[in-house]
């Protein structure tokens, strides 16, 4: 037997857990303003997450998928994308969405049980939250195909989790994107757990990035708690895709510092000590320390940022809670551009039997 194929998976880290550079940093990371922008968004995500969980716990929000722990991955990806790119998220990548112009209010309206939250005023072509696991990945390949058909220098970005990489749709999407050299990047957020199933029980593969190899496309691993690293790796993949070089799989190694959703209880399955250890690697502290090392951050600025975030969040919660329940017509009015006549009768019935209007909480 002779060796007919070789592959290698590389792991990258730019900032260690103490916020010290482990290698030469890219240009954007030497601009304190740019790093501060990312840190501010990461902090907003962290504080918003706590508020959203609190709203759910107090009966003012539906089931919510928290993002705590993923901030560096989400913000790094968002910062690497161009506004004209298209995002196909899963359901907890608020950092990327907020960076791209989705609002806190829209996020709350959606998880408050109202599709109006997906009618993003900002990124009009981005996809909304995708609940059926991995099904967003072929869609992203299709978005990328549209860019290819029209010769537009744009990219699609699809998120997927570690558990999602077990789904057939993910393999189909990577394979099609590779065969057709589509401008798409698949971001595998490996946070260790697919609800209660750890990665080791999900696959025998040593890395998730190597799943790209079978599709004939590059796969790379990056410290997902290192916002500089995530952005650097994503920028490289996006530049390559935009130039016609085809897709990439980027696996970001992070940790879900929360329950899967507010309906989950991770203490049922998470080994003792794992969460505490993960907190020592979380993404905000190292970004802050790096900013401090640049002389661009201190306690006063931290306090000002936190009150600024709190004010933004409070305003969003107020706007959300002031959003009245939609009319029953909404169930019917957005199904078709030209609705079949028969729906009219059901629409009338729904109106007649509608629950009392209110804020719907």
Partner 1 sequence: MAKVTLVEAVNMALAWEMANDPDVVLLGEDIGRNGGVFRATVGLQERFGPLRVQDSTLAEGAIAGMAVGMASQGLKPVAEIQFMGFLYPALDQIGNHMARMRNRTRGRLTMPIVMRMPHGGGIHAPEHHSESLETLLCHHAGLRVLCPSSPARAYGLLLAAIRDPDPVMFLEPTRLYRMAKQEVLDDGLALPLDRAFRLREGEDVTVVTWGAMTHDVMRAAEQLSLEKIGCDVIDLASLSPIDHDTVLDSVARTGRLVIVHEAARHCGVGAEVAATVAERGLHDLLAPVRRITGYDTVMPYFKLEHDYIPSVARIVDGIRETART
Q: Provide the binding-site residues for partner 1, judged by CB under 8 A.
A: 86, 88, 115-116, 118-120, 124-125, 127-128, 130, 132, 135, 137-150, 156, 168-169, 172-173, 175-176, 179-180, 330, 334-338, 340-343
State both tokens at 92. Answer: 């907890």
Catalytic annotation present for 74: no
* Residue closer to partner 1, measured from CB, 152 or 298: 152
CB of 168 to partner 1, least distance (A): 7
* Residue closer to partner 1, measured from CB, 30 or 125: 125
* Residue closer to partner 1, measured from CB, 14 or 147: 147
* Residue closer to partner 1, measured from CB, 169 or 317: 169
Catalytic annotation present for 269: yes
Catalytic, out of 100, 154, 231, 260: 260
Burial pattern 77-104, b for ≥16 Cβ within 10 A else e, equals bbbbbeeebbbbbbbbbbbbbbbbebbb
Q: Helix and strand tally (H, E) in the chain?
A: 14, 8
* Residue closer to partner 1, measured from CB, 178 or 218: 178
Is residue 127 within 8 A of residue 89, CB to CB? The reply is: yes
Neighbour tally for 202: CB within 10 Å = 18
CB of 162 to partner 1, least distance (A): 20
CB of 219 to partner 1, least distance (A): 19
Cα 157 from Cα 85, distance rounded (Å): 8
Pinpoint the alpha helices (H) of the chain: 32-57, 71-80, 94-99, 104-111, 136-150, 168-179, 199-202, 211-214, 227-242, 274-279, 283-293, 299-321, 329-333, 342-352
CB of 179 to partner 1, least distance (A): 5
Catalytic, out of 269, 334, 351, 357: 269
CB of 223 to partner 1, least distance (A): 30
Of 191, 208, 236, nearest to 77 by C-alpha is: 236
| Catalytic residue ranges | 256, 260, 269
């Amino acid at each position: 037997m002779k060796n007919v194929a070789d592959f290698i998976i590389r792991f990258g880290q730019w900032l260690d857990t103490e916020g010290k550079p482990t290698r030469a940093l890219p240009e954007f990371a030497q601009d304190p303003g740019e790093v501060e922008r990312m840190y501010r968004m990461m902090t907003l995500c962290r504080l918003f997450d706590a508020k959203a969980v609190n709203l759910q716990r107090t009966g003012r929000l539906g089931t919510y998928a928290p993002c705590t722990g993923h901030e560096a991955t989400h913000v790094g990806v968002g910062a690497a994308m161009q506004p004209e790119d298209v995002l196909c998220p899963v359901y907890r990548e608020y950092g990327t969405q907020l960076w791209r112009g989705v609002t806190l209010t829209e996020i709350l309206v959606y998880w408050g049980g109202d599709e109006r939250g997906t009618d993003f005023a900002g990124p009009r072509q981005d996809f909304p939250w995708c609940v059926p696991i991995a099904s967003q990945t072929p869609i992203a390949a299709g978005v990328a195909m549209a860019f290819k058909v029209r010769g537009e220098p744009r990219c699609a970005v699809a998120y997927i989790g570690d558990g999602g990489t077990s789904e057939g749709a993910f393999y189909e999407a990577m394979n099609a994107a590779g065969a057709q050299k589509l401008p798409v990047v698949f971001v595998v957020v490996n946070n260790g757990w697919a609800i209660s199933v750890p990665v080791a029980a999900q696959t025998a593969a040593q890395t998730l990035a190597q799943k790209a190899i079978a599709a004939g496309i590059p796969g790379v691993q990056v410290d997902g708690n290192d916002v500089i690293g995530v952005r650097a790796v994503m920028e490289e993949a996006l530049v390559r895709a935009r130039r016609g070089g085809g897709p990439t799989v980027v696996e970001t190694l992070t940790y879900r510092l929360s329950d899967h959703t507010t309906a989950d209880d991770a203490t049922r399955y998470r080994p003792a000590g794992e969460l505490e250890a993960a907190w020592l690697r979380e993404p905000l502290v190292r970004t802050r320390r790096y900013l401090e090392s640049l002389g661009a951050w201190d306690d006063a600025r931290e306090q000002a940022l936190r009150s600024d975030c709190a004010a933004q969040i409070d305003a969003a919660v107020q706007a959300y809670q002031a959003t009245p329940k939609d009319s029953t017509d909404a169930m019917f009015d957005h199904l078709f551009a030209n609705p079949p006549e028969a729906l009219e009768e059901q629409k009338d019935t729904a109106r007649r039997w509608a629950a009392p209007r209110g804020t719907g909480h």
